[in-house]
Amino acid sequence: MRAMMITTTEKLTEVCNRFAQLPFITLDTEFIREKTYWPVLCLIQIASKEEAYCIDPLSEGIDLTPLFGLLQNENVVKVFHAARQDLEIFYHLMGKIPTPLFDTQVAAMVCGFGESVSYQQLVQELTNTAIDKSMRYTDWSKRPLTDKQTAYALHDVTHLVNVYEKILERLSNNGREEWLVEEMAVLSNPETYEVSNDKAWMRIKCHLTNARQIHVFARICEWREKTAKLKNRPRRHIMKDDTIQELAVAHPISSEQMELLRSLPNGFSKSAYGMELIDVISTAMTEEVQKYEAPEKRKGLTNSQKNIGELVRLLLAVVSDNLGVAPKIIAGTDDIVDVVVGRSGSKTMRGWRYDIFGRYVEALKEGKLSFSYDPKCRRVKINDLS
């Protein structure tokens, strides 16, 4: 397999035109974001069965437009492993999501490899090849890159070719291609990568129950998100999550009140951020309190609901074990809470998830289902009592 570093628009155009004729390509990125809000793209790896290239987006004068065109080519499947962060980068650069998509990590969960299986594990199990991950802490923004660094980066896409083909074969054999449709749709949805300033608070565990405090909390989170984007700095560099909650509870509306808080450094109230926050909090304290839906899911369950939840978790574990599929692909924690409290719209109660799990949940809640241990096969069995 030929490998090369692409540093010019001309070479990139040539390769993209050639790759546009293929049924699929594999991709990965290297980036840094420790000191910025937006990830800084440092390297793009791309491969086919015959060729593999590193694209240097930091090369002077290079135009990534040919690559963006390839990523939007509907005839070429774009294969990633654990695609979310890569897709976030491309969405920020292009304003669009690469399409069509295939994520081998998601597909691996459907094929019995457990939750969030690593690329290294998947390559080892499917191709019997060990990958050296000793350079995963490389600063990819530094130039020039060594041959060893380039070879290391390319491993993330060259082995992915074989992994993709073997995963496709397994999906075909077990007839579970449809199970991936919804997951890939989530990855392809721009809303997955957009964090609206006014919804930024939903990213943080909110331990507050007072409606006014939650409203102030949400407004401060909105301010932090807007500021982090504007300054291109990580959210935590603007303000830590715990500090936001303390501010929401104390809701200081003057410099004197703000100076009393332990989580803020001396003199913060007189800084630009401090004065902005006093305005934000003062306004939030006089506004009509908004209705925030998310905290409902975080409220504690009754003892009876907790017991039902444990049974549903057991049911999920048994179903996933019997089918050889990761539990996460069927239902997550919020999904279990949804079915326990009878909240409508749960994904577990429709489509293929209903067929393999949701109908059993209904039977369980109606007292028409039980569990038993089969010593012969050493597995817990589901007994339909209806």
Q: Which two tokens stand for residue 37?
A: 């809000």
CB atoms within 10 A of CB 355: 10
Kindly tell me the sign of the dihedral angle through the C-alpha atoms of 199, 205, 210, 213.
Answer: negative
Domains defined for the chain, CATH in brackets: 2-192 (3.30.420.10), 197-286 (1.10.150.80), 300-384 (1.10.150.80)
d(CA 164, CA 257): 58
Per-residue pLDDT at 327: 92
Residue ranges for the chain with pLDDT beneath 50:
295-298
Q: Which two tokens stand for residue 83?
A: 């695609």
CA distances from 295 to 89, 113, 193, 215 (A): 30, 33, 22, 11
Per-residue pLDDT at 291: 75
Per-residue pLDDT at 234: 96
In terms of residues, how long is the chain?
Answer: 386
Which residues have a Cβ under 8 Å from the Cβ of 144 and sit 6 or more positions away?
none
Per-residue pLDDT at 296: 46
Per-residue pLDDT at 374: 87
d(CA 176, CA 234): 39
d(CA 40, CA 182): 29
d(CA 209, CA 296): 10
Per-residue pLDDT at 99: 95
Side-chain half-sphere CA neighbours of 263 within 13 A? 14
Beta bridge partners of 55: 6, 44
Per-residue pLDDT at 112: 86
| H runs (alpha helix) in the chain | 9-19, 65-71, 84-94, 104-110, 119-127, 147-174, 181-188, 211-231, 235-238, 241-250, 255-258, 272-286, 295-298, 303-323, 327-330, 333-341, 351-353, 359-365
Per-residue pLDDT at 298: 47
CA distances from 85 to 80, 239, 318, 320 (A): 10, 23, 32, 27
